[in-house]
A and B are shown apart, each in its own frame.
Chain A
Amino acid sequence: MGASTDYDVVIVGAGIAGALMARELARQGVRVLILESGPRDRDDRKSFHETYLTATAKLPNTPYPPYWHGNDPAHDPNEEAAPRPMTAMTFAWPGLTEFQKWNGSPAKFVAFNRQSYLTYTTTTELPFLSTYERMAGGTTWHWLGTSLRFTERDFKMESTYGQLVDWPITLTELYDDYARAEDAIGVSADVGDQRALEPYLGPQFPNGYEYPMRRIPMSVSDQALAQTLQGLQFDGQDMELTCTPQGRNSEYRNGRPACQGNSSCIPICPIQAKYDATLTLQEAESTNFVTTVTQAVVSDLDIDANGQRNARKLVMP
């Protein structure tokens, strides 16, 4: 790893969260080491794209390694250094009622755990029912790009609905952070569309806010649906179709093209019109304050008596 192996901060995982943190820290002169369990894309997404095109079942995981997608009982995920849950598994995962029913007999959960790097346990009430990717760039490789803000009520769940907790921060305090996140991702939306939701959701934007790019136009079927909904009511409210903010380009921006409508955002945008965190990772690394080591699985954190995490174990295949 060369001469300088002193780092101020170690980040586990090069997804959007890890990459953004690394970028922000590096901009302040902090030396960062990122340990990423998966590989890097080494040929400009071409082989991922070809894998997607030639797959007979096109699922969110399809283009990306490890290339195990089925129910092959001979496959042992424990043999993978960095396995991850498959789309098929999310369908097969038992529902909440089944979960309670089977609490006494965990065989099914144990079987699933063996196939997943996630710790689904028999005491978990809400298992993580989604997939994720193990690669530099993380799950944004196959995210859709929908970039919604939280509403005021999301921060006051307990006082509004008697569920979960109230946050110690408010939406208005996060306005600047949302603006920076929407800039980093590159979000296309019309703030007027979103303001139309204020009567239901409360304010979500400061005065004068504009998204980085204009909105993505509605498709023919969206337009038809919008027309059909006109004049209909649900729960005493007029129904209206609005566009959601999208983390994909509606124009050429920062070296990336406008969306061409490949219609494959999940699982792969062949032209990177859709944001993925490899972009932020590149920005972070270009500061020269960030080193990323890929195919490095963090397997343990040692926490000392003072609650300090002071060591970790590494598996590097």
Chain B
Amino acid sequence: MSIQPPSAFFDLSALLTGFTVQTLEFAQQSADFFGVFDEIYGSGHMAKLLSVYDAHVQAGDAPNDIGKAILDAGSPVEDTARALMAFWYLGQVAPLNDPENLQIPSGNHYAQALVWRAVQAHPTGVSTQQFGYWANPPAPLNDYL
């Protein structure tokens, strides 16, 4: 059983990815993005990133300003934020000190990656649709967020 992520994890992830908290919670339900990120990227970095985020929230900063501040924060907070965004979008992550060693931890991480929603499609190899769906235009982007 994976550890229940703090709500700040979803709030920050929503800020960084542009997807709703609900969509991210749904993805986390099927693939442990929170715990596995720590395992692969290196433990402690997520906690540090979340504490920086919490400090901005406590200070009453506007969400867009928080996002900008974090992505301009420099190493290691900025790097962690960018690796987290890539993990959410692509389902793949590398250890901080071994960036070539990209890993897709499970089929569910691949399938829940946000890139599929962003391109309004299903993951290659995991279709939830019916015969012939491809003959019609995809649903509007808003339906995927």
Interface residues of A, Cβ cutoff 8 Å to B: 49-50, 52-56, 58, 217-220, 223, 250-251, 258-264, 268, 270
B127 touches A262 (CB 8 A): yes
The yes or no answer to B126 lying at the interface (CB within 8 A) is: yes
B135 CB to nearest chain A CB (Å): 4
Q: Is the interface of A mostly helix, strand, loop or mixed?
A: loop
Residues of chain B lying within 8 A (CB to CB) of residue A263: 122, 124-125, 127
Q: Which of B38-46, B79-87, B106-114 is near enough to bind chain A?
A: B106-114
Q: Which of B8-16, B51-59, B70-78, B97-105 is near enough to bind chain A?
A: B97-105
Interface residues of B, Cβ cutoff 8 Å to A: 92, 102-107, 109-111, 122-127, 129-137
CB pairs A–B below 8 angstroms (16 shown): A49-B125, A53-B106, A53-B123, A53-B126, A54-B104, A56-B92, A56-B103, A219-B135, A220-B136, A260-B129, A261-B127, A261-B130, A261-B131, A262-B124, A262-B126, A270-B126
A217 touches B107 (CB 8 A): no
B103 touches A53 (CB 8 A): no
B137 touches A262 (CB 8 A): no
Using CB atoms, name the residue of chain A closest to B105. A54
B107 touches A50 (CB 8 A): yes
A220-B127 in contact given A49-B107, A54-B104, A56-B104 (Cβ < 8 Å): no
Using CB atoms, name the residue of chain A closest to B133. A261
A54-B106 in contact given A218-B135, A250-B131, A259-B131 (Cβ < 8 Å): yes
B125 touches A217 (CB 8 A): no
Using CB atoms, name the residue of chain B closest to A217. B135
The CA of A52 and the CA of B123, in the complex, are separated in Å by: 12
Residues of chain A lying within 8 A (CB to CB) of residue B124: 58, 262-264
B127 touches A217 (CB 8 A): no
Residues of chain B lying within 8 A (CB to CB) of residue A54: 103-107, 109-110
- Excluding A53-B111, A56-B103, A270-B125, 12 further A-B contacts by CB distance (< 8 Å) are A50-B106, A54-B103, A54-B104, A219-B135, A220-B137, A261-B127, A262-B122, A262-B126, A263-B124, A263-B125, A264-B125, A270-B126
Using CB atoms, name the residue of chain B closest to A268. B125
Using CB atoms, name the residue of chain B closest to A54. B104
> Of A49, A53, A220, A262, which is within 8 A of B104 by CB?
A53
Using CB atoms, name the residue of chain A closest to B136. A220
Residues of chain B lying within 8 A (CB to CB) of residue A261: 122, 127, 129-134
Residues of chain B lying within 8 A (CB to CB) of residue A268: 125
Q: 3 tightest CB-CB pairs across the interface, nearest first?
A: A53-B107, A264-B125, A258-B131
Using CB atoms, name the residue of chain A closest to B106. A54
The CA of A54 and the CA of B110, in the complex, are separated in Å by: 7
The CA of A85 and the CA of B19, in the complex, are separated in Å by: 42
The CA of A54 and the CA of B107, in the complex, are separated in Å by: 5
Residues of chain A lying within 8 A (CB to CB) of residue B106: 50, 53-54
Residues of chain B lying within 8 A (CB to CB) of residue A250: 131
The CA of A54 and the CA of B92, in the complex, are separated in Å by: 9
Using CB atoms, name the residue of chain B closest to A263. B124
A217 touches B137 (CB 8 A): no
A71 CB to nearest chain B CB (Å): 13
Using CB atoms, name the residue of chain B closest to A264. B125
A278 CB to nearest chain B CB (Å): 18
B134 touches A217 (CB 8 A): yes
Residues of chain A lying within 8 A (CB to CB) of residue B134: 217, 219-220, 261
A223-B135 in contact given A53-B111, A262-B124 (Cβ < 8 Å): yes
Among A49, A54, A251, A258, residue most surrounded by chain B Cβ atoms (within 10 Å): A54
B127 CB to nearest chain A CB (Å): 4
Residues of chain B lying within 8 A (CB to CB) of residue A259: 131
B17 CB to nearest chain A CB (Å): 20
The CA of A220 and the CA of B134, in the complex, are separated in Å by: 6
Among B106, B134, B136, residue most surrounded by chain A Cβ atoms (within 10 Å): B134
Using CB atoms, name the residue of chain A closest to B134. A219
B108 CB to nearest chain A CB (Å): 8
Residues of chain B lying within 8 A (CB to CB) of residue A217: 132, 134-135
B110 touches A53 (CB 8 A): yes
The CA of A268 and the CA of B107, in the complex, are separated in Å by: 14
